Amino acid sequence: MNGPLFAAAAPQPGPLRVLLLGATGTIGRATARALLRQGHEVVCLLRPVAGAGAGAAPNPPAELTGATLRFGDVRDPSAVARDGLRGEHFDALVSCLASRTGVPADAWAIDHAAHQHALAAAQAAGVRQMVLLSAICVQKPRLAFQQAKLAFERELVASGLTYSIVRPTAFFKSLSGQVQRVKSGKPFLVFGDGRLTACKPISDDDLGDYIAGCLTDTARQGRVLPIGGPGPAITPREQGEALFAMLGRQPRFKQVPVAMMDGIVGVLGTLGRVLPPLAAKAELARIGRYYGTESMLVWDEAAQRYDADATPSTGTQTLFEHYAQLLRGDVQTERGEHAVF
């Protein structure tokens, strides 16, 4: 006998019990909605709100209705075990936690160290799976927050847990900062001629669904997953042209030379060596410069170019539908980190 001819059908995964970190963020909220829609039991560990007292938050986001809310400081190495997991059974840890500033100390404290503590707590508690929201830009790391994210990605891969590392392209909020200025009659600002970069924008809900789907789709496990939204890659110039077309106006662009940004980075970098507050500003300028000149698409190392065709797509919602909703006032944009303009 060589064993059974037919493998037993894989068991259908039932609802999972999930600890979600970063649930108050843009993608954290979308992921919470998706996890709940997909029938999972969701426990969120939220940052304690100053003055609210232990275990209470004045205004947890409405999207978290249906999830269990717990409170703890993820910078405290024992918080995830004590305040989040509490010795209970969990199937998976899902993290959309990220530094809100991207400056080096915060990035290393949150994107790296807090995740390290959470992973150790999850492993000690017998949690078998982790889904991590990362970013496509870590493939070409130049910035402190990218190094911090990459360092934790490597630790997760080496941990032995079933992992999914989701590296999305640009979020809608990071590409919507100019909608109101253009609506009010101002030109659309671009770096260079507006064709230096491209991305495949992904909506919050499409990304939330994708992240939640990693729990049960084995094809998304044990992998690093670059992911964009539907449709072709678009440049900043095309974003501006679409906006003007929706408003029925002639396109008007104001070009910001990359050399000017380099000058700002250089001056702030030099001054930041003696004046610490300017060091943080220099890092923010470096982040702006990076997003003004690097595409959010899969990088082909051999060809030394970004490859839109190699960047997978998911979901149905497009940036231009989102622009139309913003112009009608149906939705409001939340200014994102990494919004260059």
Q: Which residues bind ligand NAP (CB under 6 A)?
A: 22, 24-28, 47, 74-75, 96-100, 110, 133, 135, 168, 170-171, 174, 336-338
Cβ atoms of residues 175 and 233 within 8 Å? no
Measured CA to CA in angstroms, residue 258 lies from 77, 99, 149, 235, 278 at distances of: 41, 26, 26, 16, 20
- Which of 253, 255, 172, 165 lies closest to 210, judged by CA? 165
Say how many C-beta atoms besides its own lie within 10 A of residue 170's C-beta.
27
CB of 3 to ligand NAP, least distance (A): 44
Q: How far apart are CB 14 and ligand NAP at their closest, in Å?
A: 27
For residues 237 and 338, which CB has a smaller minimum distance to ligand NAP in the complex?
A: 338
- 66 vs 263, which CB is nearer to ligand NAP? 66
Give the SS3 label for residue 7. coil
Question: Nearest distance from residue 13's CB to ligand NAP, in Å?
Answer: 26
What order do you get walking across the sheet with 68-71 strand by strand? 68-71, 41-46, 17-21, 92-95, 129-133, 162-168, 223-227
Nearer to ligand NAP, 168 or 213 (CB): 168
**CA-to-CA separations, 300 to 134, 137, 200, 233, 287, in angstroms, rounded:** 19, 13, 16, 15, 21
Q: Which is nearer to ligand NAP, 89 or 100 (by Cβ)?
A: 100
- Report the residue number, 271 or 280, with the smaller CB distance to ligand NAP: 280
Helix (H) or strand (E) holding 287: helix 276-293
Closest among 68, 67, 141 to 111, alpha carbons compared:
141
Shortest approach of ligand NAP to residue 11 CB, angstroms? 32
Residue among 61 and 194 whose Cβ is closer to ligand NAP:
61
- Of 27, 206, 17, 39, the C-alpha closest to 132 is 27
How many angstroms separate the CA atoms of 104 and 280, rounded? 8
Q: Which CB sits closer to ligand NAP, 99 or 139? A: 99
Cβ of residue 75: shortest distance to ligand NAP, in angstroms? 6
Minimum separation from the CB atom of position 73 to ligand NAP (A): 6
Which position's Cβ is nearest ligand NAP? 25
Least spacing, CB of residue 102 vs ligand NAP, in Å: 7
∠ CA 204-107-91, nearest 5°, is 60
The answer to whether residues 144 and 280 touch, using CB atoms and an 8 Å cutoff, is no
